[in-house]
Structure 1
């Protein structure tokens, strides 16, 4: 059953969401076109660059991403309170990075004298823009429309580039967040287009690994490898891992997460050669997740859940909250 978008994005329940968009007819419009022989991998670079630009404008952090040949995945966190704390001028400045704005706002910024009704109009516009700057639908609109226009311009054609509206899944608890991020980061491994995490192009985990390696090399060269430099080992354009005591972080250790995804990748990718660790990562122990349950979630996250993901208890509670009898993933 199709649900209204405002019923799927409920910030009072969770600020984390899994977003998916596919190219029209699932064609290889971001990879190798087997009919023409052309390669369109540069469009995947467009997507990564646009995602990061929009994240710097919107109050929306990127926790994970994977740009495949005909679709992409995002795991995002909406920072509503951050947006509500912005000054009016901050909201305007961010909005103007994407849009031309409004003549009345230009007058306000110029310091012109405004009537009471004009001041009210300025306030209304600012609040409307503020709400849009933490709105996932506006984020995705800015992402997908831009890519579609650039691709059509390159192909000298018109028409749909994306299959339809994006799909969203609300991640209702920490286990859902962690398993979804791993599911996203493992996309190239499952698709058999990469054998190692560091070779998984256009993924957040590859970016995290490369950044970590680079900063550790620099730290070794300068002999300043210490705990205070922990956050410098993580890309500024991605939401950092941290501890429960640290604000604005994903509440897990980065190294634990890398170990977990590497371990899961060795199991879900049956053709991978080499040593498979028999030791279950400590992060699964701390979350009290069974090994088989975790691997099943990683391999079938996309089909196991519908618009909401979480434990059975959380899904049942959320269904009751929205006067729904059942959500996919409960039984």
Structure 2
């Protein structure tokens, strides 16, 4: 932010809750986007849901992405051509139509989402990793990198120290700097937990994979050394679920006459439906398997919550990251109930 101000840039701040973020983008028409992976993941999920409704659309979109990435390998970033006009311009216009660069940080970005963003916006997408103690950025990917799955190289004038973490199975020699001088960020050490059978799980990695599922609005993954499986708190995307599975809500309305007028009560009642929990869980596990999650990383059970995570309720930080201790405390009883029923 300070650097942007030094170069004379204007800075726009979120004016409302996270669900209206695209409206802010469309109004302010930013040229440089600074965001967290969750924003791009949700955008990717929403777009791909529409694309996959038709085989013709899917093939056309896939061809457009492939064409863009081939150009970008040669350092060419352009917003023209018939495929760009048909596939990407409407998406860019939803964000104001002026994006020329994207900086993403706060958590690892899925390679699939990275390729999507570079193609749609036809601009460099840079992943950064930093800390307050370092005064800002520690590592950064190159603007020409389209592979993803890593956090880039250490920036100039920055020194880092890599150490072995035997208890988690990480060693500098095996898991340290890649052949191109890049680092891979797994998760914060304090977030990684060990399951009862000895396997370690990085929850942010699992959440980023599941974030590509269009049925979700928010998802928090929890684990404990007392149990051999993970569980999760999920805020469903009710709008999408109503579109895809209207019969679930038709049954709910029949059993609760007049509830439709009160949306909060309506969604809260929907969260108690076992059919909805099973439907979302099955979709998540299918999605996780398709995207390389191991069996012990897949969640076994869910608690559905009608209240989205937000800064106002303390479940998101001001930088839109999950406030993990607060989430765990807020849903402590529900999480323990998931472990109890799953272990019975």
TM norm structure 1: 0.27
Higher relative contact order (CA 8 A, sep 6+): 1
Which is richer in strand?
A: 2
Which is richer in helix?
A: 1
